[in-house]
Amino acid sequence: MIRVNKILGNIHTQALENYQSDIIEIAWYDTRKKIARLMTQASRDIAMKLESAPKEGISDGDIIYQENGLVIFFKILATKVLYLYAKDVVEVAKINFELGNRHAPLFFGDSEFEFQTPYELPLQKLAEKLMVKYEIKESILDSKKRLNVSMPHSEPNTKIVLSNTFSVNIIKEK
Could you read off the pLDDT of 76-113 as tens digits, one per residue? 999 999 999 999 999 999 999 999 899 999 999 988 89
pLDDT at 153: 47
The pLDDT of residue 112 is: 83
Element (H, E) at 74: strand 70-76
The per-residue pLDDT for 168 is: 54
Q: How far is Cα 60 from Cα 28, in angstroms, rounded to an integer?
A: 9
121-127 long-range Cβ contacts below 8 angstroms, 24+ apart: 123/82, 123/99, 124/82, 126/98, 126/99, 126/102, 127/82, 127/84
Quick one: which of 115, 127, 9, 121 has its CA closest to 62? 9
User: Is residue 4 within 8 Å of 66, Cβ to Cβ?
Assistant: no
C-alpha dist (Å) from residue 57 to 87, 97, 129, 147, 151: 30, 23, 32, 12, 11
Q: Which residues of the chain have pLDDT under 70?
A: 53, 149-174
- Residue 163, classified by CB atoms within 10 Å of its CB into exposed (0-12), middle (13-18) or buried (19+), is exposed
- Length of the chain (residues): 174
The reported pLDDT for the residue numbered 154 is: 47
**What's the confidence (pLDDT) of residue 152?**
45
pLDDT of residue 15: 82
